Amino acid sequence: MDFSLSVEEREVRDWVRTFVQRELVPLEQEVLRRERAGRPGLTRDELTELQLKAKRSGFWGVQTPEEYGGMGLSAVLTALLEVELGRSFVPFQFGGSADNILFHANAEQRERYLLPTIAGERRSCFAITEPGAGSDAKAIRTTARKDGADWVINGEKTFITGGNEADFAMVFAITDPEKGADGGVTCFLVDRDMGWRSEYIDTMGEWGPASLIFEDVRVPERQILGELGQGFALAMQWIGRGRYLLPARAIGACERLLGMAIEHANTRETFGAPIASRQAIQWMIADCGVEIEALRWLVLHAAWQVDSGMDSRHAQSVAKLYGGVKANEIVDRVLQIHGGMGYTRELPIERWYRELRLLRIYEGTDEIQRRTIARNLLKGHVKVGGGLG
């Protein structure tokens, strides 16, 4: 069993680490200033400029297949990349990507939606969550009624990432109430200029999701993505596309935070000695170090399963659950080590504190992950002690 990184993996990791240090970290104070004034941390033009800088070095479409102009990186490499991006809270992601279900587009849809999205010319959002249908995705109430050659969509979606910026949405609606989720839900590609609107949702963090309102929005038959009635299967593909990447980014944040805690512990003195000499501080540092390493291997194990063509859903749920819980414990310890200064806005710890809290909620709450893990164990889908097989 070889845990070492390949030459390619080290090169990719080191390049992204350098990019983060040179291009993103210097922007942090300005990003904080803007966010605290109620403005986006990066404008769309600034994000595009950063993405194009990365593109000039070949970093474009990280997981996009090479035939579409992307890098086609493995799951393990992508996880390593996300760890490095997590070292800064500047809201950056590499360009050239499209939601995985957009690759189900037909020839006409590829030209209108998939290729422009990969090129960075269009922006999409995934719209399934509703006020009464969060973790229980099968409980959606948005409807699409057939009217001649068109479908008429009515309903509301909520907590939609990118919904305020998107110019088209992948909207999941009930097309056959009698069949329910299995055969009765369809995905539609709906341009904003077809009539839907978005409303900003203010949150405790800097994530600015949207509510999407559909009132008699008329879309032609050609806007169906995939097949009529098979939308729920597409939704599950999207939801399970890379859950391991969320805790991967948290690893980078936790490593940066732990570095801050170590530096502070070695320089801050109380009663004539650095607080690093206090056992209470030492134990917090030790626990953070152990948990970061444990999370790293949970994430990489899940990514390895993806690359190996295995069913990685259980491993991804384990990594997502552990990562969400432990990242929140780690940032809390780091704040505690910094004392009153950690609670101020002079340091970015409170910024990470708010951001990492979301990890326990979105793309599957802690409770949903525990339900999945327990069900797999109780029903024998996963054998105790068989995690490496």
- Is 143:155 a contact under the CB 8 Å cutoff? yes
Catalytic annotation, pick one of 11, 67, 363, 367: 363
User: How far, in Å, CA of 92 to CA of 344, rounded?
Assistant: 24
Q: Which residues contact 350 (CB under 8 A, 6 or more apart)?
A: 335, 342, 343, 344
Element (H, E) at 89: none
- Is 142:173 a contact under the CB 8 Å cutoff? yes
User: How far, in Å, CA of 143 to CA of 154, rounded?
Assistant: 5
Structure tokens at 223: 């806007």
Q: Which residues contact 123 (CB under 8 A, 6 or more apart)?
A: 117, 162, 165, 166, 167, 168
DSSP β-bridge partners for residue 168: 124, 191
Dihedral-angle region of residue 5 (phi above 0 means left; psi in -120 to 50 means alpha; beta otherwise): beta
Cβ atoms within 10 Å of 130's Cβ, excluding its own: 22
Task: Give the burial string for 249-284 (b: 16+ CB within 10 Å, else e).
Answer: bbbbbbbbbbebbbebbeeeeeeeeebbeeeebeeb
User: How far, in Å, CA of 35 to CA of 239, rounded?
Assistant: 28
Instruction: Provide the pairing of β-strand 273-274 with 210-220.
Output: unpaired
Tell me, yes or no, if 363 is annotated catalytic. yes
Instruction: Provide the pairing of β-strand 197-200 with 210-220.
Output: antiparallel
User: How far, in Å, CA of 43 to CA of 362, rounded?
Assistant: 24
- Tell which residue, 346, 34, 60, 327, has the closest CA to residue 208: 34
Please spell the DSSP secondary structure of 24-53, one letter per residue. IGGGHHHHHHHHHTTS-SS-HHHHHHHHHH
Catalytic residues: 363
